[in-house]
């Protein structure tokens, strides 16, 4: 760790730079803890440029916590569509209900109370408490870890959970306790705009004279990362079942991957099995329908956090049977234009574009 005098210099330089260079973002124009909370949830694992229009639409529709709590989850998921990581939206909706019913609509301003809400981990709690309430908590995200690793030559891999305590301790020691909210935002902003992963702009870095990696000429060696294993690939087949001009959509269970979202019925596709034959068999098993497979459209690829999906899409015609669900929780027969009104995951949006073309 740097000497206290160096930490003081870093804080002063960082504060001056942030006052001049920070981006004008909508969640920085408010001290409302609800709006800051929404922005921080959206910003997890998502770029600022992507988040900004989603944030504007979300706040326009749900301007406060009670309006979010009153809304149906399906509407929330639909508004979230395209941001991915849908557990974030489900937890937001659930937490809003708790705040509204159990906390008189007031976002908690203490660590323990805030952490008890669904979906609020250390990062979001520290961000909301420091930015909205001025509490002395240091934020540690990927940008902050990268800045700290280069500043202090931290050898702990940034992508390993066991390293988090190292970075949390450093961030806490460096934190400007008199203005924790701005300091946290400045650290994150520095990582986003200047101390970037592949092309850091060290010349214009406000704290470059304190950076040990720059002084030693090893800036590109930090932060250090452990090699990750390649993501496994899952293959599945999905059937677009037509019946009297309508198409069958099914809803996934509320819990688990892509919970509550809608899709074409389908199931795992074993290696070496023909998608057309597998599709008819799987539809009989999952939704109790007899179908004929007109043709195999294409294979859609989608990357999720823990695996890669290859989804074979088949056009099918209903022949017999009434829908009985196995693993799914609800179903609808819809016209093609109505499908877009439902909350759909990324692979489904690609499938719709494929069918339309």
Indicate which residues carry an active-site annotation.
40
Start-to-end C-alpha separation, the chain: 58
Give the residue among 227, 185, 229, 191 at the shortest CA–CA distance from 211: 191
| CA contacts within 13 A on the Cβ side of 118 | 13
Give the residue among 151, 131, 110, 130 at the shortest CA–CA distance from 10: 151
- What is the residue whose two structure tokens read 């899952």? 234
With contact defined as beta carbons under 8 Å apart, do 246 and 321 qualify? Answer: no
Q: Determine the Cα–Cα distance for residues 348 and 261; give it in Å rounded to an integer.
A: 10
Residues 6+ apart with CB under 8 A from 113: 103
Q: Determine the Cα–Cα distance for residues 147 and 207; give it in Å rounded to an integer.
A: 10
Q: Determine the Cα–Cα distance for residues 34 and 39; give it in Å rounded to an integer.
A: 9
Strand pairing report for 233-243 and 308-320: parallel
Q: Determine the Cα–Cα distance for residues 149 and 152; give it in Å rounded to an integer.
A: 6
> Where are the strands (E) in 233-328, listed by range?
233-243, 246-251, 262-263, 266-268, 290-303, 308-320
Q: Determine the Cα–Cα distance for residues 251 and 244; give it in Å rounded to an integer.
A: 21
Q: What is the DSSP letter of 107?
A: P
Helix (H) / strand (E) element for 334: namely strand 330-334
């Amino acid at each position: 760790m740097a000497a206290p005098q160096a930490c003081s210099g870093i804080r002063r330089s960082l504060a001056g730079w942030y006052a001049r260079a920070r981006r004008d973002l909508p969640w920085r124009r408010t001290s409302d803890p609800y709006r800051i909370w929404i922005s921080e949830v959206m910003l997890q694992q998502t770029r600022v440029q992507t988040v900004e229009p989603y944030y504007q639409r979300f706040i326009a529709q749900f301007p406060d916590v009670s309006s979010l709590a009153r809304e149906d989850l399906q509407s929330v998921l639909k508004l979230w569509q395209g941001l991915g990581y849908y557990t974030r939206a489900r937890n937001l909706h659930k937490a809003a209900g708790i705040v509204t019913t159990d906390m008189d609509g007031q976002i908690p301003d203490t660590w323990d109370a805030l952490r008890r809400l669904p979906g609020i981990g250390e990062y979001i709690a520290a961000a909301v408490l420091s930015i909205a309430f001025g509490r002395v908590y240091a934020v540690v995200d990927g940008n902050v870890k990268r800045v700290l690793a280069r500043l202090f030559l931290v050898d702990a891999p940034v992508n390993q959970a066991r390293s988090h305590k190292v970075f949390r301790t450093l961030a806490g020691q460096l934190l400007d306790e008199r203005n924790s909210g701005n300091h946290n935002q400045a650290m994150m902003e520095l990582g986003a705009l200047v101390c970037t992963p592949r092309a850091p702009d060290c010349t214009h870095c406000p704290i470059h004279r304190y950076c040990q990696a720059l002084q030693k000429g090893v800036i590109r060696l930090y932060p250090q990362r452990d090699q990750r294993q390649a993501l496994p690939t899952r293959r599945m087949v999905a059937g677009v079942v037509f019946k009297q001009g309508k198409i069958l959509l099914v809803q996934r269970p509320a819990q688990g991957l892509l919970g509550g979202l809608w899709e074409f019925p389908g199931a795992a596709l074993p290696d070496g099995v023909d998608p057309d034959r597998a599709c008819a068999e799987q539809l009989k098993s999952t939704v109790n329908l007899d179908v004929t497979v007109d043709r195999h459209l294409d294979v859609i690829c989608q990357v999720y956090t823990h695996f890669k999906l290859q989804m074979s899409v088949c056009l099918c015609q209903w022949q017999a049977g009434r829908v009985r669900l196995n693993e799914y929780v609800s179903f609808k027969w819809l016209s093609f234009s109505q499908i877009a009104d439902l909350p759909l995951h990324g692979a489904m949006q690609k499938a719709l574009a494929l069918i339309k073309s």
